[in-house]
Structure 1
Amino acid sequence: MADLSSLKVGLEGSASALVTEERLATRVGSGNVPVFASPMLIAVMEAAAVDCLEGHLPENYQSLGVQLNVAHTAPTPIGFTVTAKATLKEVSGRKLTFDVTASDGVEQIGSGVHTRIVVDTPRFMARLAAKSLPRR
């Protein structure tokens, strides 16, 4: 098992995304209203969790998102910037749990819990490559 001792409850990370045409629900297929899409909200929340871990994982290790429970509670129009914050709330072996929130500069637009798993990158990539081989 990798040394994950630098992962401490309370670590924080953030990420932002400008609401552009490409990030609207109407563009990504998640609705018929031209507002920031829920899949894009989830992506910026995941990016905040990744930012939280920056510099804290051993060499040749990374984290992968495995679970999200998010409420998207307010709409955001094009031109606004959405900022997500992730706070590490639990470390259980290689399982990391984060509280995540997002706001658009006017109000909080989403919140939830996100779980990531720490993986050995070369081992993970070997598994992926094996899965990509032609099946008989």
Structure 2
Amino acid sequence: MIEVGLNAKIEIVVEEKDTAAFYGSGLVNVLSTPRVVSLMEGAAVEAIKNELTGDETSVGTRICIEHIAPTPVGMKVLASAKLVKVDGRKLTFEVLAQDEKEIIARGTHERFIVNFNRFMEKAVSKKK
């Protein structure tokens, strides 16, 4: 059973491939917002992965963050997620990212627990 309080952290060193200029989400060589979102989602996935059964997975359905400070290439970033609410299959996380100097992003993230096979069948059926 998935319970409030589960948490995880992911750390990276910012590379060129993580920048806004690389992602196309801006023209600057600093950590991109899409990459921050990816790190936060990854931390949430990591927090609950050992609690899911063999036929379950989770999918992101909402993320609301403030990206409040830039991080240059070469600096470490730590993203964390803490499960703060469980409502049936809906999971709500508080997410945070910080570099070596300061908090760079914060917000909330929602995920839903789904049956992996049914989810993929639904996705693949769109191609028919």
Whether TM-score is above 0.5 comes out as: yes
Query: Is the aligned partner of 1:35 residue 2:30?
Result: yes
SS of 1:132's equivalent?
coil
Aligned-residue identity in percent: 39
Query: Is the aligned partner of 1:131 residue 2:123?
Result: no
Pairing partner for 1:15 from 2, 10, 14: 10
Could you list the runs of 5+ residues in structure 2 that have no partner in the other structure? none
Q: Distance in 2 between matches of 1:49 and 1:59?
A: 18
Q: Distance in 2 between matches of 1:129 and 1:21?
A: 33
Cα deviations across residues 17-71 of structure 1 (Å, max 9, x unaligned)? 2211111111111112211000000000000000101210111100000100000
Tell me how far 1:14 sits from its aligned partner: 1.2
Q: Distance in 1 between matches of 2:11 and 2:126?
A: 34
Query: Is the aligned partner of 1:83 residue 2:78?
Result: yes
* 1:1-136 paired onto structure 2 within 5 Å: 5=1, 7-133=2-128
SS of 2:126's equivalent?
helix
Tell me how far 1:81 sits from its aligned partner: 1.7
Normalising by structure 2, we get a TM-score of: 0.97
Aligned length: 128
Q: Distance in 2 between matches of 1:115 and 1:74?
A: 23
Normalising by structure 1, we get a TM-score of: 0.91
